[in-house]
C-alpha cells in the first residue's frame, strides 16, 4: 500500500493499493493498443484533445490544487499557479505544436532532396518526483500526446492522489483508452517495466541516484532516456545589478516550494563590493519569511514534503557546520505537528566540502563572496551539477561572459530561473541530459525519419 500523509499536520490522507503484476501487464497491453490507433491520428485531433484536457484542468483547478497542497505541503496559492502553468502548456502545444511537426525539405548536393519527418515511436515511461507533482508530469504529457506517442506514469509514492487525478483529467477529456495511465508501482518495479519490449523510451526527473539507476536499466535495453536531475544553481550578483530586486528574487528562489526546487538558486555568489549590503538586506528578508498553514494566503512557505525530507536537510546542516560552515540563523525544525523548518543562511562553506557535491532541498541559502567575475565563475562551476543559473548584472560584457562560461544548461539574466512551455529545459554534467519543453522536448522521443527523393 501507498500511504499519503499531510506534511502540515502529520495526518494520514488516504492509502492506495500498489498495482499488481497483472495490473501492470494490463496497462502495458492497453498502452500498446492505444499507440497503434493514436499514431495514425491527425495532428489536429491530438491538438484538440490537448485543449479538452486543459479545459478539465480549468474546471477542476481548486480540486487539483488542494490535493497537491495536502499531499506535499506547497502553499495553495503556488499549487493554483502550478495548475495554471499546466493549462498554459496544453494550450501552447495545441496551438504551436502542429507547426513543429511539419516535415522539412532540403536540397542535396548529390541531387534530389531529403525530407525530414517527425514520427511517433510508442509508449514512453515517465518516472516523476513530488515537488511539482502536476507540472513535472504535464510537461511530459502534453508533447507526448501531440507527438502521437502514449504515456505511462510512475509517480512518487507520496503523491498518489495527484497521480490518480492526472490520469482522471485525461480520461475525462475523452482520450482513447490507454493513452495516458498511472502505474501505482514502487521503484523496484521500474526495471522490469523499462525492459518490457512495448516501452520504447523513459524520462526521469529526480535525484542523481535515481537517474543513474534508470539510465543503467535503459542502457541495457538500448532505449533512449532523458534525465532531469538535481542542481545547486548559482545566483550571481554583480555591482551593476539592482540590489533590491536581486535580494527579493534571491529570497523567492530559496523559499519557493519551501526550497524544494531543482532550478532555483541555492548558492548566492555576491561580488565583494556589494557583499555586505546584500547580506544585510538578504538576512532581514529571510528572517521575515513566515512558515505556516499552506492554505493560509498570508503564509510564505509551507512545510517540507515530509518529515524524512526535513530530517535530511537538518542533517545536511549538521554536517555542513562540522565541515567549517557557519549557520548565521534559521535552519531549525519548528515546533508543532508538521514538517516545518525556518529559512536560514549558511556562510563560509569550504569549496572542497562534501556539501558542494550535494543539493540542499530546503529553505537554506549558501552565501559566497567573490572578488571579481573570474572568481564568481570559478565558484559557480565548482560543483558536479550543471542545471541552471541566474546572473544579476547590467553590464553587457559581463552578461556575455556568464552566458559563455557558466557550465549549465540554462542561464537567466536579471531574473530568477523558471521553466516555461516555450523554452527547452535541461542540464549538463551530473544534472542529466536531454531536454524537455519547447520544440526540442517535443522531438526527444520521436523518430526523425529521413526520406530521400530523386530529382525531377
3-state helix, strand, coil in the chain (%, to 5): 45, 20, 35
* Distance (Å, whole) CA 288 – CA 343: 9
And the C-alpha cell for 22?
Answer: 497483472
Contact by Cβ (8 Å): 82, 134: yes
Q: State whether residue 412 is helix, strand or coil.
A: strand
Nearest to 453 by CA among 118, 107, 109, 117: 107
Q: What single DSSP character describes residue 101?
A: T
Indicate which residue of 82, 208, 228, 358 is catalytic.
228
Question: How many whole angstroms separate alpha carbon 304 and alpha carbon 340?
Answer: 6
Q: 82, 86, 208, 262: which is the annotated catalytic residue? A: 262
CA–CA separation, 360 and 267 (whole Å): 10
Confirm whether 264 is a catalytic residue: no
Question: Nearest 5 degrees, angle CA 453-CA 44-CA 88?
Answer: 120
Contact assessment for residue 31 and residue 328, using Cβ atoms and an 8 Å cutoff: no
228 is catalytic: yes
Element (H, E) at 105: strand 104-107
Query: Whole-angstrom Cα distance, residue 170 to residue 175?
Result: 6
Positions marked catalytic: 228, 262
Amino acid at each position: 500500500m501507498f500511504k499519503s500523509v499531510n506534511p502540515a499536520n502529520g495526518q494520514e490522507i488516504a492509502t492506495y493499493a500498489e498495482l499488481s503484476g497483472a495490473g501492470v501487464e494490463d496497462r502495458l497491453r492497453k498502452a500498446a493498443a492505444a499507440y497503434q490507433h493514436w499514431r495514425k491520428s491527425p495532428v489536429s485531433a491530438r491538438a484538440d484533445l490537448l485543449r479538452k484536457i486543459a479545459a478539465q484542468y480549468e474546471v477542476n483547478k481548486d480540486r487539483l490544487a488542494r490535493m497537491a497542497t495536502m499531499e506535499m505541503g506547497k502553499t495553495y496559492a503556488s499549487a493554483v499557479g502550478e495548475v495554471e502553468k499546466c493549462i498554459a502548456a496544453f494550450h501552447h502545444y495545441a496551438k504551436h505544436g502542429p507547426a513543429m511537426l511539419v516535415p522539412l525539405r532540403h536540397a542535396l548536393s548529390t541531387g534530389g532532396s531529403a525530407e525530414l519527418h517527425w514520427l511517433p515511436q510508442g509508449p514512453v515511461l515517465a518516472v516523476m518526483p513530488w515537488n511539482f507533482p502536476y507540472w513535472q508530469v504535464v510537461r511530459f504529457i502534453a508533447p507526448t500526446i501531440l507527438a502521437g506517442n502514449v504515456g505511462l506514469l510512475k509517480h512518487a509514492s507520496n503523491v498518489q492522489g495527484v497521480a490518480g487525478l492526472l490520469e482522471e483529467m485525461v480520461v475525462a477529456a475523452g482520450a482513447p483508452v490507454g493513452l495516458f495511465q498511472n502505474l501505482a508501482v514502487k521503484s523496484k518495479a521500474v526495471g522490469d517495466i523499462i525492459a518490457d519490449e512495448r516501452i520504447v523510451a523513459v524520462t526521469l526527473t529526480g535525484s542523481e541516484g535515481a537517474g543513474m539507476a534508470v539510465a543503467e536499466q535503459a542502457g541495457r535495453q538500448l532505449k533512449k532516456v532523458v534525465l532531469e536531475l538535481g542542481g545547486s544553481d548559482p545566483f550571481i550578483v554583480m555591482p551593476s545589478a539592482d540590489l533590491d530586486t536581486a535580494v527579493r528574487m534571491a529570497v523567492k528562489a530559496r523559499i519557493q516550494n519551501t526550497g524544494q526546487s531543482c532550478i532555483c538558486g541555492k548558492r548566492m555568489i555576491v561580488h565583494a563590493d556589494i557583499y555586505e549590503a546584500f547580506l544585510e538586506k538578504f538576512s532581514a528578508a529571510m528572517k521575515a519569511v513566515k512558515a505556516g498553514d499552506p492554505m493560509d494566503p498570508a503564509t510564505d512557505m509551507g512545510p517540507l514534503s515530509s518529515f524524512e525530507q526535513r530530517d535530511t536537510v537538518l542533517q545536511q546542516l549538521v554536517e555542513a557546520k562540522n565541515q567549517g560552515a557557519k549557520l548565521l540563523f534559521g535552519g531549525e525544525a519548528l515546533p508543532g505537528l508538521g514538517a516545518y523548518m525556518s529559512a536560514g543562511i549558511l556562510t563560509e562553506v569550504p569549496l572542497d566540502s562534501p556539501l558542494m557535491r550535494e543539493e540542499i532541498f530546503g529553505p537554506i541559502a549558501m552565501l559566497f563572496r567573490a572578488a571579481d567575475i573570474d572568481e564568481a565563475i570559478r565558484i559557480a562551476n565548482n560543483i558536479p551539477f550543471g542545471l541552471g543559473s541566474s546572473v544579476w548584472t547590467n553590464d553587457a560584457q559581463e552578461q556575455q561572459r556568464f552566458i559563455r562560461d557558466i557550465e549549465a544548461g540554462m542561464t537567466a539574466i536579471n531574473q530568477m530561473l523558471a521553466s516555461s512551455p516555450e523554452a527547452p529545459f535541461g542540464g549538463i554534467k551530473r544534472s542529466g541530459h536531454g531536454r524537455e519543453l519547447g520544440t526540442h522536448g517535443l522531438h526527444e522521443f520521436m523518430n526523425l525519419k529521413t526520406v530521400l527523393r530523386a530529382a525531377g
